[in-house]
Amino acid sequence: MKQKSQGISSGIYRYTHRCESGVNIHDIFVERSAFRVLFSYVGATCLLANVCRTLLSKESLCLGSFWSVPFSAIISKCLQYNPVKKESLVIMPAFGIQLEQHFWSGRVDRKFVPISKILQPVLNECVTPVTCYWSLALLLRDEDETMLVFQNLHPPVKLLLPIWKALCAFTNTGSISPSVVLRQDDLHKHVDQDGAVDS
């Protein structure tokens, strides 16, 4: 039995949800940009040309040749095309979840996580010196680190929210408990004089 898929779009990402034979499938697609692919090839060509020019020149190596190769490598890395077509979360009731990465080349990577190992899904706001994005992660039993649901894609929070809600319903965690997230008006009750937050 197949249910009609529902979807949301935001920027270069598109979210779809469908049910097939009791299995919930949540997909995050990335739109392929022809300019991004073209710039990726241009960046790789510039790096290769710069390295060849530096190594094959008959002149002695100078300071200019040493900085041009790392500079070309940085530009090439920035223009590198992400080969991921979509990432999927497959929820299989009574068994667990399967994380899938589908590449433009046709390769598919899959990872299964049994339900007994999942403690709770969490939405994280990740802040770097350059950007800020949201990620969906799983807290796992007997693991020191969280597991990212979407390894290569960073969709906006409005696309992650329905997936997080489905994972909460699947793991029976319901919603965020009041002890985990403090309301804004109750924050002053939990902060002592030196600024430390009480548990």
Task: Provide the whole-model pTM.
Answer: 0.65
Domain that holds residue 169: 4-30+83-173
Residues 121 and 167 in one domain: yes
Radius of gyration in angstroms for the set of CA atoms belonging to the chain, rounded to a whole number: 23
Give the separation between CA 199 and CA 197, rounded to whole angstroms.
7
CA distances for 61 relative to 19, 27, 43, 56, 64, angstroms: 62, 51, 23, 10, 8
In a domain, 114, yes or no: yes
Helix (H) or strand (E) holding 45: helix 34-56
In a domain, 39, yes or no: yes
- How many structural domains comprise the chain? 2
- Residue 22 carries which DSSP code? T
Asked whether residue 99 carries a pLDDT value surpassing 90, the answer given is: yes
Pairing of the two strands 13-20 and 84-92: unpaired
Give pLDDT, residue 65: 59
In a domain, 134, yes or no: yes
Asked whether residue 158 carries a pLDDT value surpassing 80, the answer given is: yes
Q: What is the pLDDT of residues 125-151, one digit of tens each?
A: 989 898 888 999 999 998 888 999 998
Lookup result for tokens 């080349």: 105
Residues 73 and 22 in one domain: no
Give pLDDT, residue 36: 67
